[in-house]
Amino acid sequence: MADSEPLDRDADDEHAPEFYDEPWITPPFQPIRAIAALILIAGGFGLYEYVLVSFWSVPWMGIHERIPWPAFAILAAAMVLSIAGLRLALGLYSPHAKLGFGLFAFLACIVVGAGGGRFVSYVMRATLNPPFTLKLAVGQQFPSFALIDQNDSIHHGPASDTGATLIYIYRGDYDPFARFELAELTAHREEFNRAGLDTIAISTDQVERSKMLAGFLRTKIPLLSDNSESLIAPLGLVQHHRNGEPDNAIPAFLIVDRDGVVRWIFTSPYYRELPRPDTLLDAAKSVIARESTTHPAPAAFPQ
């Protein structure tokens, strides 16, 4: 009987590694897919950062709106891009590339999702004014005042020689929305003046802070200081803080005629919601046109 081949090879046989080991094939890196994942991740994170940086100075993103839908839509697009980048990264064949790119995309999704959520929460909850009631109505006389501005000049009002006066009561120099609105009013001041609309702004800031704000904005709009709250408090436009911080004004826009009678008012539950310059100009033109045809007797300001 012929010797048969052994069924099992000896462990020391030179062919044993070839018999037992499976060959390892390195997965392809897929550079196009990896680059596409990076582009999507960078695009999502870039859109997110653009909203955070630019919302305070780009009007079309919704700073004038009660609900800034454009900014929210950009944040949603940033989240979609980040998730798409994560999906591409997890589809890489190379385990090392999948781990690296996938972890990077996952962290980007966390940052965009958590940061975007905080931004939405801030815009919709943290910018709410405290409950307040404006103790002044259209047709009533705006209370008289004598307040100092950033140039140490005393302004007496509300009556003026112009056709109408815009009185902007703003929170203070620390508020980015107030700074943005004052910058817009400064940019349109000549247009307002040509239409017969004068502009003044009032806050509870100290005169020194008004001077710094006027220098920063390079504005000639009188920034009146009502640090004693002699005018703002009777109007019901003071926000008191429990943590010891100084009081600040609650924003309001009022247009008064040349006799000091209130003809137009804008207030909002959100201190970030501000009227557009064209809205203010249209309201002022309406007040001035009405003045030329009628001159009603003003109602008394309630004491």
Residue 18's pLDDT is: 55
Which tens digit of pLDDT belongs to each residue from 223-261?
A: 999 999 999 999 999 998 877 788 899 999 999 998 899
3-state DSSP assignment of residue 145: strand
Residue 274 tokens read as 């501000």
Q: In percent, how much of the chain has pLDDT > 70? A: 88
Q: Rounded to whole angstroms, how far apart are CA atoms 208 and 210?
A: 5
Residue 53's pLDDT is: 93
3-state DSSP assignment of residue 163: coil
Radius of gyration of the chain (CA): 32
Residue 96's pLDDT is: 87
Q: How many residues belong to the chain?
A: 303
Residue 200's pLDDT is: 95
Nearest CA-CA partner of 260 in 233, 297, 228, 290? 297
- 8 Å CB contact between 120 and 75: yes
Say if residue 108 is exposed, middle or buried (CB neighbours under 10 Å; 0-12, 13-18, 19+): buried
Q: Rounded to whole angstroms, how far apart are CA atoms 269 and 131?
A: 8
Task: Report the Cα–Cα distance between both ends of the chain, in Å, rounded.
Answer: 127
Average pLDDT over residues 45-73: 92
β-sheet bridge partners, residue 148: 154, 225
Say if residue 264 is exposed, middle or buried (CB neighbours under 10 Å; 0-12, 13-18, 19+): buried
Which tens digit of pLDDT belongs to each residue from 212-225?
A: 999 999 999 999 99
User: In one letter, which amino acid is 303?
Assistant: Q
- 8 Å CB contact between 287 and 162: no
Which tens digit of pLDDT belongs to each residue from 26-56?
A: 777 788 999 999 999 999 999 999 999 999 8
Q: In percent, how much of the chain has pLDDT > 90? A: 73
Element (H, E) at 201: strand 197-203
- 8 Å CB contact between 272 and 127: yes
Residue 221's pLDDT is: 95
Dihedral angle over CA of 254, 259, 261, 267, nearest 10: 0
Which tens digit of pLDDT belongs to each residue from 128-176?
A: 999 999 999 999 999 999 999 999 999 998 877 778 999 999 999 999 9
- CB burial string 239-255: b at 16+ within 10 A, e below: beeeeeeeebbbbbbbb
Mean pLDDT of the chain: 88
Q: Rounded to whole angstroms, how far apart are CA atoms 40 and 49?
A: 14
pLDDT above 60 for 5: no
The greatest distance separating any two alpha carbons of the chain, rounded to the nearest whole angstrom, comes to 133
3-state DSSP assignment of residue 254: strand
β-sheet bridge partners, residue 257: 164
User: In one letter, which amino acid is 174?
Assistant: Y
Phi, psi of 302 (to 5 degrees): -65, 135
Nearest CA-CA partner of 84 in 117, 123, 128, 39? 39
